[in-house]
Amino acid sequence: MGSGPRGGIAAATGMALGSIIYAILTAAGIGALIVVSPTLFVGIKVGGACYLLYLGATTLHKAHKPQMKDSIVKARSKIFRQSLIVELTNPKTILFFLAFLPQFAEVEGGGVPVQLLVLGLIYALVALSSDLLVVSLYAKIKMLIERRPQFAIWQERVAGAILVLLGLVIFTQIFYHPTA
């Protein structure tokens, strides 16, 4: 929210590109390597958890003052890159593309890789549309934040805490449920 609608569009685009990359990997069969290599999969999970902890800690550290001024808005390229990394290291995204999506491909229909690619692209498009809808609601929320700068501080604190919590949950899954 602190980076405005263009920042939101950059974040949504980064996540969509991550989904498209997984769609391509799944269609090419390369993504299956992640599933059959527990070490690689755990490595991706650990990397994702560490990155979420880093983003959360950074957000919490910067939450002491309102983030609404244009001079402190993050570069859209940085937001795009962060969103892409989060999407590519998200174990749920990996499992979605490698375990869930293939259930909807029909072997009898032929061209399973093409089907997987189309399904993955449809998913990415739907997710992008949903994220852009959230971005479009930003204008209404922005007025509230500008009237009450303290709200922006709490929004950053909550966002940072959620990112840290997600990172800790992933670590918990890794250490207490190594096959999850």
Angle separating helix axes 112-136 and 4-28, nearest 10 degrees: 170
The set of residues, in sequence order, having a beta carbon less than 8 Å from that of 149 and lying 6+ positions away, is: 66, 68
Q: Which domain holds residue 131?
A: 4-176
- Please state, in angstroms and rounded to a whole number, the distance separating the CA atoms of residues 154 and 53: 18
- Per-residue pLDDT in tens (0 to 9) along the chain, 180 residues: 567 788 889 999 999 999 999 999 888 887 667 656 777 767 777 877 787 788 788 878 877 665 544 434 568 889 999 999 989 988 778 878 877 777 787 777 778 888 889 999 999 999 999 999 988 887 677 777 777 777 777 877 888 888 889 888 878 877 776 555
37 sits in the region (left: phi over 0; alpha: psi -120 to 50; else beta) called beta
pTM: 0.66
Q: For the chain, what is the domain count?
A: 1
